[in-house]
Structure 1
Amino acid sequence: MTAQNPVQTPAHNPKAKIQIVIVGGGAAGLELATRLGARYGRKRHDIIVVDRNRTHIWKPLLHEVATGSLDANMDEVGYRSHCHRWGYRFFYGALAAIDRTARQVHLAPVLDEDGREVIAAHAIRYDYLVLAYGSVTNDFGTPGVAENCTFLDSRAQADRFRDRLLDQCLRVSRTMTTDPASNARVRVAIVGGGATGVELSAELFNAAAALGYYGLEVFDGSRLDVTLIEAGPRILPALPERLAAAAQRELEVLGVRVLTDTPVTASDRTGMTTGNGDRIDADLQVWAAGVKAAAIPGGLDGLELSRGGQIVVTPTLQTAIDDRVFAMGDCASCVLPGRDRPVPPRAQAAHQMASAVFDNLNRMMAGKPPRAFVYKDHGSLVSLSRFSTVGTLMGNLVGGKLAVEGRLARFVYLSLYRMHLVAIHGWLKGSALIVVGHVNKIVRPRLKLH
């Protein structure tokens, strides 16, 4: 493979730029690239972001994209325009392998929808490499899941689910118009009682209530059958039991059937089979029962991986066998001193890791030793669409932990996304986008149906 825009390493050419390659433009990767670009620009540094997508959207919003409650065209960030503003370069492609000896990342060829090659396989040199390529849904090898269930790992998957949901709603609405006595339903089965499954369950009823404004006058939430299936003893295990119970009650009031202690053993085109042999019929099936690190086809050149495929890193977020390679976000497994479990794969962890890697890259380039990452758990929040929000906040101001519900929790939940906007756009544009977001809630359609 040949390097694209090859540059000599500083060891051979003191005037060469320091090249930092970030694989993954998710929350962690994009925030790091923004900070590095703002700090160094392009004069003595070459900051490169590699991603398999052309645009970035905050992953916790994908359930809203899937129901049409959020128009991703208005909230996504185009890498090419963003990189021009913040002083880094963007390469469109997927990581195929890394070569630590040559200090190169190898990218797979980019193909168009007809299978024709757009960009040939190539390699990019690095002086420092940051792996932040995120996670994908883990189906645990359950038969039929990969073929029959929708995952919500990307905008494309969310868009596909929204189209299928709308088609089914239109089908039921038409049936009710021609046969008012019909008991036609839209049946959705969601596996996984974590934040994604719970938030999607509630958001579906918000979308169903809004469809009446768009020509489906005879369709509403009463025609929606949503079943949330959790293999564990309760939903939302990251929250205190009282708040999880409150969220379940709220879902059941909406009309969600919540099944706990119910593992799914198989999926087919018309529904799912549970561990006790029961049948759950469904027109749409969503699998949100766990995550794992995305597999890299050519491997990671000997980097240690956890059982879930994550890259094992030291407390400084560097890999144990190569201090020029960092990993952060959902693809990293970081067990901090005094703890027996890795830092959880959450948006707040990705944000904090990006700050830590930024600081350590600065220190290493200045000849100083890197510092250990300190994770501060600020709590967990789960939004039940416009109906409710529950969660916990942690910190010195509240004496360690505070259970929150209702408007306060909703405000804090929305603040997480606003912090992300400021981190990737700066205070001026980030604040403007927050204001525009409020205006759009009034002037733009309640649902995106195309």
Structure 2
Amino acid sequence: MRSEIVVVGGGAGGLELACKLGRKLGPSKVMLVDSRLYHIWKPSLHEVAAGTLDIHQEGLSYQMLAHDNGFTFAYGPLLSLDAGQRRLRIGAVSTADGEEVLPERGIGFTSLVIAVGSTSNYFGVPGAEQHTISLNATEDAERFRLRLLRLLAGAEQDMSEGKPAAVDIVIIGGGATGVELAAELREASGVYASYGFRHLVGLRDIHITLLEGAPRILAPLPERVAAAALTLLEQRAIKVVTDCRVTAIEADKVTDNAGRIYPADLCVWAAGIRAPQLLSTLGLATNRGGQLEVDAFLRVKGSEYIYAMGDCAACIDRNGKPVPPRAQSAHQQADFLLETFVRQAAGKAPQQLGYAYTDYGSLVSMGSRTSVGSLMGALRGFNWFVEGFFARMMYLSLHLLHHRAVLGTMRTGVLALARFLIRRTTPQVKLH
């Protein structure tokens, strides 16, 4: 197998790049490699975990997207890279029973884009990897949801027999993922009680604790945004503990540096990210965090034909600013590389200016009815604080813009309408 341009990683940025390139250059020129068969927008994983979003309705098939957008899809995990020979090794794919579906394969390329995202950074905390769930992928969110259902069912059974019971959930990390998950879980806890859990009272029996090591939650965002989010969390009986350094995690509890113990039937790690360990084995330049070091043109340092983008890339843009690991960074980098490759295909001169990150602000979902955030203005350093229904509509629009990039305007509109109608005819939470 061979392709002119191979994109490894079908996350938000990698998939958008493959779709846009495919529509311009065609399947003989563009290939996407991913270890999964379908794509989900990663910022929505907290909804999958809470059960308010059905992964089987949300996921988009890579094979379908490849057919519709004019690229080739190769299914399998990246194993190794021979940069000198310009070849990848893609691992075999097997069923749950061990039956091989696809063999190990080699893929040749002219240009390579690595967009494999990030994974959890446990910072050496004892028990963190063994006793927590991190929302890195769809299977993590589904594992959390099923575990939550089992705990709720057990608590309901105990209560029906007159025994005291509660479910304790601890979320470690007060960034956007942790805050959004806490808010979504509190909203979902009230809904679950309406679907057969008659003895459960969400605010009373489902205890949610959010632990953050910094002096405040949402540390990278403006203080006003963090304060508004904290108020909303506290109004929903979510306990928030800041300046809290977790020192140990066990199967049923979390301990911090002050010796405080937090009971935990279910524990989520959302306290930091790092690049996948695989990147350090590829023979490419990486930084201390394992990210691939790239220049302002997104080329991996030391290579003229290997690029990296998104969370796995350590990028200093043309203005000398470090690019943050955010979805909007990946979207912008996808557009920059699109222009790079289209120019190459047309035999035009390369871009003269490197990539420059533009911060358009940040929005944080606080449930299905409200969001908070800041929008960057045209004046440098100026931003608007937004909250409530308006902020919620803007948050939802980000998901639709991503869908439009990979599905087109018409299909995105039809899909949005279909999902709206489906939500009116199905339970508000996934119950199986």
Distance in 2, Cα, partners of 1:250 & 1:364: 50
- Partner residue in 1 for 2:24: 39
- Partner residue in 2 for 1:320: 301
Verify the 8 A CA contact 1:22 1:29 in the aligned structure 2: yes
Q: Secondary structure at the match of 1:309?
A: coil
Distance in 1, Cα, partners of 2:136 & 2:286: 21
Verify the 8 A CA contact 1:211 1:220 in the aligned structure 2: no
Note the alpha carbon deviations across 1:87-145, whole angstroms, 9 max, x for none: 11111111111111100111223333234443332210001101001111111121111
* Offset of residue 41 of structure 1: 1.6
Q: Secondary structure at the match of 2:193?
A: helix
- Partner residue in 2 for 1:348: 328
Verify the 8 A CA contact 1:109 1:122 in the aligned structure 2: yes
TM-score (norm 1): 0.92
Name which of 319, 337, 343 aligns with 1:357: 337
Q: Structure 1 318/384 Cα, relative in aligned 2: closer, same or farther at 3 Å?
A: same
Q: Which is further off, 318-327 or 58-67?
A: 318-327
Distance in 1, Cα, partners of 2:308 & 2:7: 9
Distance in 2, Cα, partners of 1:345 & 1:390: 20
1:232-243 to 2 correspondence within 5 Å? 232-243=214-225
Q: Secondary structure at the match of 1:322?
A: coil
* Count of aligned pairs between the two proteins: 429
Supply the AA of the counterpart residue of 1:126. Answer: F
Note the alpha carbon deviations across 1:342-381, whole angstroms, 9 max, x for none: 2111111111111111111112232422341121110011
Distance in 2, Cα, partners of 1:399 & 1:192: 27
Q: CA RMSD in A?
A: 1.7
1:267-346 to 2 correspondence within 5 Å? 267-296=249-278, 299-301=281-283, 303-340=284-321, 342-346=322-326
Q: Which is further off, 223-232 or 435-444?
A: 435-444
1:393-412 to 2 correspondence within 5 Å? 393-396=375-378, 400-412=382-394
Q: Which 4+ residue blocks in structure 1 deviate beyond 6 angstroms?
A: none
Q: Secondary structure at the match of 1:396?
A: coil
Q: Structure 1 298/238 Cα, relative in aligned 2: closer, same or farther at 3 Å?
A: closer
Q: Secondary structure at the match of 1:127?
A: strand
Name which of 56, 63, 82 aligns with 2:46: 63
- Partner residue in 1 for 2:113: 130
- Partner residue in 1 for 2:64: 81
Distance in 1, Cα, partners of 2:354 & 2:426: 45
Verify the 8 A CA contact 2:319 2:356 in the aligned structure 1: no
- Partner residue in 2 for 1:230: 212
Q: Which is further off, 363-372 or 342-351?
A: 363-372
Verify the 8 A CA contact 1:149 1:285 in the aligned structure 2: yes
- Partner residue in 2 for 1:14: none
- Partner residue in 2 for 1:200: 181
Q: Secondary structure at the match of 1:333?
A: strand
Distance in 1, Cα, partners of 2:418 & 2:219: 35
Q: Secondary structure at the match of 2:80?
A: strand
Verify the 8 A CA contact 2:121 2:274 in the aligned structure 1: yes
1:170 and 2:149 matched: no
- Partner residue in 2 for 1:111: 94
TM-score (norm 2): 0.96
Distance in 2, Cα, partners of 1:427 & 1:420: 10
Name which of 396, 408, 418 aligns with 1:414: 396
Distance in 2, Cα, partners of 1:256 & 1:213: 20
Distance in 2, Cα, partners of 1:449 & 1:81: 28
| Unaligned segments of structure 2, at least 5 residues | none
Note the alpha carbon deviations across 1:189-233, whole angstroms, 9 max, x for none: 000000000000011111111113321122131211011000111
Verify the 8 A CA contact 2:279 2:290 in the aligned structure 1: no
1:20 and 2:5 matched: yes
Note the alpha carbon deviations across 1:131-172, whole angstroms, 9 max, x for none: 001111111121111111001011111001000001101111
Q: Secondary structure at the match of 1:403?
A: strand
